[in-house]
Amino acid sequence: MSNVEVNIPGNWRTEHGKEYAKKIRTRGIVPANLLLKGKAKSLEIEAKWLSKAWLNGKEFNLQIDGAVKRVSIKELQLHPVKRTPIHVDLMYI
């Protein structure tokens, strides 16, 4: 486990669906859900930072709407062949 602080910027998603998810994945963006008290809010984050967060004990700082919140990776789904992230579920710490 590394002691490096990982900061990942995120944006709330306004569009949903398979086609939109495919489109953002081709740009290196991963669809994500932020789990909050039984509800989930949709967001998108850059895939290249997820490996650093995974190596940092599955915790990182999420920068969204000008605020920084500490989150952990609850579930990470990988493509079965390419081994690239296709979806991630996050929770506040």
For the chain, which residues make up each domain, given as ranges?
7-92
Question: What pLDDT is attached to residue 4?
Answer: 67
Q: Could you tell me which CATH number the domain at 7-92 has?
A: 2.40.240.10
SS3 89: strand
Q: How many CB atoms lie within 10 A of CB 68?
A: 11
Task: State the DSSP string of 17-69.
Answer: SHHHHHHHHHTTEEEEEEEETTEEEEEEEEGGGHHHHHHTTTEEEEEETTEEE
* 28-87 tens-digit pLDDT: 999 999 998 889 999 999 988 888 888 878 899 999 999 999 999 999 999 999 988 999
8 Å CB contact between 7 and 60 = yes
Q: Which H or E element spans position 11?
A: strand 7-12
- Full-model pTM: 0.86
